[in-house]
Chains A and B, each alone.
Chain A
């Protein structure tokens, strides 16, 4: 049976971070012009921690992580600034943004891996799943073919695929969506990475299957101390999985807090509007509750409003202030961060 390396995590205090992301900015060149997609995003994540990245389409949540893995289109089509310092298994800290191509290839999959929303498009349709996983293992872990296939069988069993040995020869189209996502997870953990980026991994799945996958990720995390960056737009999933939450809007980090803090008392008006716009289970069948729809729509990165990006949709908007000054990301106590000129006044009056 496969042995899983266990990182000991002291309860209570946060272990030193595995990944420290500093001032990441990403821009894409669209007909000669550089369109900013992510502005100056910083965060860190520790072993065993789940950090949720919440935002709507165009918020920059996926792009931030693609940039960290050097998966954005090569320059000059995109431009990435900042640093992403990953403490690797050998104890050496490397910057992923400035890493050379050969180096990043050795790091991706091995030290930091990724799972996506639609496993069908991330798996190769003409190769068996056994081949696809074993290839990654042979590439990164210097194993013989025989060993790699043995390891693959164990991994498939670990992620809950019944009859794992028989499944080695299956092709992706033989499997259901949930099973494919399990295969992706098996592949993603095959090299015992320290960080996993999960980009909407359950969005395409049915709720009962989603519950299975979330449970599986939790179990793997408990066993291996994996740090998970969980990208999602689903606030329910955030509440289920996250230790800490970062909310992104218009390419900027607008709020950061623990999950408990965020759901208890959001500080940024966008966060609270988002929470109030989603129907809750306890509203079911009651006609006395009203959803607070957020007016307008998500801004286009190419033509962002001046001042606070959210001001055209904000209930607390003050003319002459919110549409003029770009609010800084402020520390709000208890390790919380918020980007709003008025968070203090709003908090006091609410």
Chain B
């Protein structure tokens, strides 16, 4: 794939936060994102999975420039947006939008649906005519499976699934090319999740949208995404096409993650790879490979240096020095 086919390219992105104060034992640096590189092709859905504290949400927020990166570069649509100022960012922001996890706190409770959907239009100077705006609101509501007479209602009058549809309609109002969806279905009831998942897939197909889909539910990510990046403690440890990753994970953390994911089929019998302990504190990550303290394949060499992300099969990258492993996939088989 040529570089021009990419809508987003992220190189060596880092995002550090300073915590603590001089009074309480000194300031420390949390490397929430520590050298992340990936790209998203036009029309592609890239999944970003990892546990809490892995930095996946910070990646999403940083590439939208909702918080400034510490170092590295973000290139969107061929333009370097890493250091753009507010006004220079505005036209870019129209093209990249976000869908949030919690449809309860991400909609202003004092705005009607119409106001919620027209405010991005006003901000970006689109559909300035009131008549055109109203028409656009009706269009958007129809697009996400709501009806035009919902426009005058307030968010509290809707169920969680409907609110998430409103959140998606708001993101689509300015006709973006790229969407960051951060856990968009995890707060929803099981029967409602499928509706929203299908809606996202329809929109993607209809508008050729590129999506960064951030989630922890592997089955949902597997269903939606073309490629998946697995994050651990601020770094991408593996990235591969979806089917390939599910068939043959190559990083020990991916293996453990798949092994821990509950499978809705009592007939699947597999050996659980139990990770001991919790994810280490990002304040004080282990040297070398940050997963080595919980890895059952770790060797003394793993502590020596941070393993680079390297291509081990076409389109399949991993950050692990061991190539002699035969790892099991989600149903306990080895894909080799």
Q: How far apart are B10's CB and chain A's nearest CB, in angstroms? A: 23
Tell whether B138 is near chain A: CB-to-CB under 8 Å.
no
Across chains A and B, the number of contacting residue pairs, with CB separation under 8 Å, is: 148
In the bound complex, residues from chain B placing their C-beta under 8 Å from that of A293 are: 191, 194-195, 197-198
Expressed in whole angstroms, the Cα–Cα distance for A285 and B243 within the complex equals 4
Task: Check if B331 is an interface residue, CB within 8 A of chain A.
Answer: yes
Known pairs A263-B266, A278-B193; list 7 more (Cβ under 8 Å).
A211-B259, A211-B262, A235-B264, A260-B266, A279-B224, A285-B244, A297-B161
Please give the distance in Å from B214's CB to the nearest CB on chain A: 14
Complex alpha-carbon distance, A279 and B278, angstroms: 27
Interface presence of B260 (CB below 8 A) = yes
> What residue in chain A is nearest B278 (Cβ atoms)?
A176
Q: Does B84 contact A (CB under 8 A)?
A: no
User: How many chain B residues have a CB neighbour from A under 8 Å?
Assistant: 49
A275 to chain B, nearest CB (A): 7
Residues of A contacting B274 with CB < 8 Å?
211-212, 215
- Decide yes or no whether B256 CB sits under 8 A from chain A: yes
Q: Is B320 an interface residue (CB 8 A)?
A: no
Q: Are A57 and B265 in contact (CB under 8 A)?
A: no
**Does B263 belong to the interface (CB within 8 Å)?**
yes
B residues adjacent to A (C-beta < 8 A): 51-52, 159, 161-162, 189-195, 197-198, 216, 218-220, 222-224, 226, 241-246, 256-268, 272, 274-275, 277-279, 330-331
The residue on A at minimum CB distance from B224 is A279
B192 cross-chain contacts in A, Cβ below 8 A: 294, 297
Interface size class of A (residues with CB under 8 A): 35 or more
**Which residues of chain A have C-beta atoms less than 8 A from B220's C-beta?**
279
Does B331 lie within 8 Å of A281, measured CB to CB?
A: yes
- Do residues B264 and A275 form an inter-chain contact, with CB atoms below 8 A? yes
Interface presence of A330 (CB below 8 A) = no
Q: Is the CB of B264 within 8 A of A239?
A: yes
CA–CA, A231 to B256, complex, Å?
25
Binding site of A, secondary structure by majority: helix, strand, loop or mixed? helix
Quote the shortest CB–CB distance from B252 to chain A (angstroms). 12
Query: A103: which B residues are within 8 A, CB to CB?
Result: none
Cα–Cα, bound, A233→B256 (Å): 23
Residues of A close to B159: CB separation below 8 A: 297-298
Do A206 and B52 have beta carbons less than 8 Å apart?
yes
Q: Which of A209, A235, A293 has the most chain B CB atoms inside 10 A of its CB?
A: A293
A57-B189, A179-B278 as given contacts; A207 in contact with B260, CB under 8 Å: yes
* Residues of A in contact with B (beta carbons under 8 Å apart): 56-57, 162, 176, 178-179, 206-212, 214-215, 233-240, 259-260, 263, 273-275, 277-286, 289-295, 297-298, 313
* Docked complex Cα distance between A273 and B268 (Å): 21
Q: Knowing A215-B272, A292-B194, A297-B192 touch, does A283 contact B219 (C-beta < 8 A)?
A: yes
Closest to A276 in B: B194
Contacts A236-B261, A239-B262, A239-B264 given; indicate if A281 touches B219 (C-beta within 8 A).
Answer: yes
In the bound assembly, the distance between CA atoms of A91 and B226 in angstroms comes to 59
Cβ-closest chain B residue relative to A212:
B274
What's the Cα separation between A260 and B265 when bound, in Å?
A: 8
Q: How near does chain B come to A234, taking the closest CB pair, in angstroms?
A: 7
Q: Cβ of A282: which chain B residues have Cβ within 8 Å of it?
A: 331
What would be 24 A-B contacts, judged by CB atoms less than 8 Å apart?
A: A207-B257, A209-B278, A210-B262, A211-B259, A211-B274, A211-B275, A212-B275, A233-B189, A236-B264, A238-B264, A239-B265, A239-B266, A240-B263, A260-B267, A274-B190, A278-B193, A281-B222, A284-B243, A285-B242, A293-B194, A293-B195, A297-B161, A297-B162, A297-B189
